[in-house]
Chains A and B, each alone.
Chain A
Amino acid sequence: MNINLTLIGQMVAFIVFVAFCMKYVWPPIVAAMQERAEKIADGLAAADRASHDLELAQKRAVEQMKAAKAEAASVIDAANKRANALIEEAKNAASAEAEKVKASALAEIEQEKNRAKAELRAELASLTFLGAEKVLGAAIDQSAHADLVSKLTAELH
């Protein structure tokens, strides 16, 4: 319990240690801690920003998807229309062709019919002549009765 020079010694040591701590210990540790705090704050801010960016990007992606879908739909629509138009055209062309073929066939038939009719008429006339010859027993002068024959032929129409 004696107060002696130890007191002075301790005071000097105290001053030295405090000075050391103040100069070499406290500033670097606190600086490091502050720097870390700033770094963490920056990191958190960056994370916030990134999540915001992500949100924006997602929105944009959704919009682009929508646009793409709409475009695809319009393209499909146009294609469908075109296809329908093509089909329609082809149909029309086909039916026109068919009509033409049919008409020409009909014309041919008509022609054939007429030709056959004429032939038959001629045949009939000659047969009629032949029959009349037989019935009359004499030859009928073709030229003499040409009027008659032509009249008959006309009547046979």
Chain B
Amino acid sequence: MQRESDMSGESQTISEYIVHHLTNLTYGRLPEGTVRYDGSVVGEGGQWAMAHGGEEIAAMGFNAVHVDSLAWSIGLGILFCWLFRRVAKQAQSGVPSGLVNFAEMVVEFVDGTVKDTFHGRNPLVAPLALTIFCWVFLMNLMDLLPVDLVPHLLGLAGVGYQKIVPSTDPNITMGMALGIFILMLYYSIKVKGFGFVKELTLNPFNHPAFIPVNLFMEVVGLLAKPFSLGLRLFGNMYAGEMIFILIAALFSAGIAWMLPAGLLQMGWAIFHILVITLQAFIFMVLTIVYLSMAHEDH
């Protein structure tokens, strides 16, 4: 496959095309002595710059920000806040209509799920669940935009890389999962106090001799929660995005592939409507369940 690169006008193979699609627009600190894409060497004290290519991103390490993921994520979060804030201002006890109706339906759905699962008393959980559900759904929804559309348009504007689905970035999903993990720890300690320590050390074998074993098992179990939460969403969305990219690559395999590729694209997109909603729902429900467990004394 020959394809015009957004970056330099060089021709691109399929694998380059895929890698390009999977690379984030990254801004970070290049450490001292890094050889840049144009051959120059980063001077003393390092240099904050936009990364050109995967090697520079790798060189940046932790001191980097995925500008595209974060921008889309925050943008969609603001969209959610703006929409629901508008609804919150309009909402009164009269007959609702239009957007208010829709938002109230979502709120009612989330509220029902929270009430079914979470039996404690905590004013944080329901708004948290609503934010997670809507935000993750919106982030997942970006998956339904044609994979080349936004990156290509931004490429024309001179932006090298663009990943528009924030939930295909493990930073984004793990960021949320860690936020929830902190809340879990906070409420575990707040609600159970010393009971939390007991839960970690005297479960499942209630004998002092088993404390190390218990501690190991419980800590692994505890840590597994945020990781499974974040990586499940990431894995599902990443795989979905990957299929979209592969189908998009199929378009360039020749005129005969146009129709089957189009059908595949449509089929996968329709299937994905289910996936994005389901993943948002799962993320929300697991959050509620984990927080519920943090609130429940054994």
Does A81 have its Cβ within 8 Å of any Cβ on chain B?
A: no
**Contact flags A14-52 to B (C-beta < 8 A → 1, else 0):** 111110111011111110110110110000000000000
**Contact flags B114-145 to A (C-beta < 8 A → 1, else 0):** 00000000011011101100010000000000
**How far does the Cβ of B67 sit from chain A's closest Cβ, in whole Å?**
9
Residue of B nearest to A35 (CB): B93
Residue of A nearest to B68 (CB): A6
Does A56 have its Cβ within 8 Å of any Cβ on chain B?
A: no
On whether the beta carbons of A22 and B175 are closer than 8 Å, the reply is no
Does A10 have its Cβ within 8 Å of any Cβ on chain B?
A: yes
Does B203 have its Cβ within 8 Å of any Cβ on chain A?
A: no
On whether the beta carbons of A5 and B91 are closer than 8 Å, the reply is no
Tally of contact residues, B, Cβ under 8 A: 51
Stretch touching chain A among B2-10, B76-84, B194-202: B76-84
Residue of A nearest to B84 (CB): A25
Secondary structure of the B contact surface, majority rule:
helix
On whether the beta carbons of B171 and A22 are closer than 8 Å, the reply is no
Stretch touching chain A among B36-44, B101-109, B210-218, B258-266: B101-109
Does B170 have its Cβ within 8 Å of any Cβ on chain A?
A: yes
A64–B167 Cα distance when bound, in Å, is 75
Does B57 have its Cβ within 8 Å of any Cβ on chain A?
A: yes
On whether the beta carbons of A29 and B91 are closer than 8 Å, the reply is yes
Contacts of A11 in B (CB 8 A): 175-176, 178-179
Does B282 have its Cβ within 8 Å of any Cβ on chain A?
A: no
Does B87 have its Cβ within 8 Å of any Cβ on chain A?
A: yes
**How far does the Cβ of B182 sit from chain A's closest Cβ, in whole Å?**
8
Does B289 have its Cβ within 8 Å of any Cβ on chain A?
A: no
**Which of A14, A16, A22, A25 is within 8 Å of B124, CB to CB?**
A22
Count, A-B residue pairs, CB within 8 A: 133
Does B28 have its Cβ within 8 Å of any Cβ on chain A?
A: yes
Does A116 have its Cβ within 8 Å of any Cβ on chain B?
A: no
Residue of B nearest to A4 (CB): B64
**Contact flags A81-95 to B (C-beta < 8 A → 1, else 0):** 000000000000000
**Which of A4, A15, A27 is within 8 Å of B171, CB to CB?**
A4
Contacts of B135 in A (CB 8 A): 17
**How far does the Cβ of A65 sit from chain B's closest Cβ, in whole Å?**
41
A42–B5 Cα distance when bound, in Å, is 66
A2–B77 Cα distance when bound, in Å, is 22
On whether the beta carbons of A33 and B172 are closer than 8 Å, the reply is no
Contacts of A35 in B (CB 8 A): 92-93
Residue of B nearest to A16 (CB): B77
On whether the beta carbons of A33 and B104 are closer than 8 Å, the reply is yes
Residue of B nearest to A40 (CB): B93
Contacts of A137 in B (CB 8 A): none
Given contacts A4-B66, A17-B135, A33-B91, contact A10 B126 (CB under 8 A): no
Does A7 have its Cβ within 8 Å of any Cβ on chain B?
A: yes
Contacts of A4 in B (CB 8 A): 26, 28, 60-66, 171
**Contact flags B13-36 to A (C-beta < 8 A → 1, else 0):** 000000000000010100000000
**How far does the Cβ of A27 sit from chain B's closest Cβ, in whole Å?**
8
Does A3 have its Cβ within 8 Å of any Cβ on chain B?
A: yes
**How far does the Cβ of A42 sit from chain B's closest Cβ, in whole Å?**
10
A33–B66 Cα distance when bound, in Å, is 39
Contacts of A9 in B (CB 8 A): 65, 70, 171, 175
**How far does the Cβ of B91 sit from chain A's closest Cβ, in whole Å?**
4
Does B279 have its Cβ within 8 Å of any Cβ on chain A?
A: no
6 CB contacts below 8 A, A to B, read A3-B174, A5-B65, A17-B131, A25-B87, A26-B130, A30-B111
With A6-B172, A10-B70, A13-B77 given, name 11 new contacts (CB 8 A): A4-B62, A10-B175, A17-B77, A21-B84, A21-B128, A22-B127, A25-B88, A27-B88, A28-B88, A29-B104, A30-B107
Residues of A participating in the B interface, judged by any CB pair closer than 8 Å: 1-11, 13-18, 20-22, 24-30, 32-33, 35-36, 38-39
